[in-house]
Amino acid sequence: MSVLVVTGTCTGVGKTIVTAALAALAAARGAAVAVVKPGQTGAAPGEPGDLDDVRRLAGVADLHEYARFPDPLSPAAAARHAGLPPLRLTDAAERVHALAESRDLVLVEGAGGLLVRYDDEGTTVADLARWLGAAAVVVARPDLGTLNHTALTLEAMAHRGVQPAGVVIGEWPEKPDLAMRSNVRDLETIAARPLAGAFPAGAGSLEPAEFLLAAHAALAPPFGGTFDPAVFRADHDPLT
C-alpha cells in the first residue's frame, strides 16, 4: 500500500489534472487506486467537484470527499462563512490510513497550496502528509513568479518533514515565453532534482483515452509515464 499527496504552489495550478493522471496510470497498470479530496471548496452540495473531474478523466470510481463548503475560499474560511464545523485533518488521516490498508495506492489532493489552513488552529495539508508518512508531488506554474512560489513550498515541506516526490508543471502552453523556458532549468535547480513531469495546457478537456496517452507522456517513469526531463529541457531551455 502507498499514499501520495498532491499539493501545489498555489491555487489553480493543475493539481486535479495531475491527480487524475497519477490515478489513470496506476489504474492502467492494474493497481487498486483510491482518490481522496479531504476538503472541497467552491462547490455546493450536488454540484460537480474535483473528484468528478478525476472520475471523468481517469475512469476511477473509488473516490472519497470528507467535507464540502460552497464558497471558493480556504477550507477554514469557507467553513466559517458557511457556519459549518471545519474539517479535522486528524480524522481525515485516520480515514486515509484505513483506505490504504486495502488499496495499492491512495492519492490525496489538497486544497489550494501547501499551507492553506483547514481550521482556525492552522492545520494544513503539510500536517496531513506528515501524519500519513506520505511524500508529496508539488504542482507548479510555468510562468513568471513560479520560482519563488516553488522554492517557498519546498522549503516549507522540508521544515515540516514532508518528503518531495517531485515537481510537476501543471500547465505547459504550446508557445511558452522566455520566462517559462528559462524557468525549466531553475525549477530543477530549486528542487535539486529533474522535473517529474509537465502537462500540456488543456489536458483537462481531453477524452479519457486521449488523457491516458497525455498522462503517459507528461509524467516521469517513477509515476508510470515516459516523460524525459532531459529531452524537455533540451527542447525548451533557451541556453541549450
Q: What is the pLDDT of residues 158-192, one digit of tens each?
A: 999 999 999 999 999 999 999 999 999 999 999 99
For residue 153, give the nearest of 131, 164, 120 by alpha carbon: 164
Q: How far is CA 162 from the centre of its chain?
A: 14
Active site residues: 37
Range of the domain at 106: 3-236
pTM: 0.96
Alpha-carbon span 212 to 151, nearest angstrom: 30
Q: Domain of 168: which CATH number?
A: 3.40.50.300
Query: Does pLDDT of 10 surpass 80?
Result: yes
Model confidence at 35: pLDDT above 70:
yes
Question: According to the model, what pLDDT value does residue 1 have?
Answer: 59
What is the distance between the alpha carbons of residues 79 and 64, in angstroms, rounded to a whole number?
19
Number of domains in the chain: 1
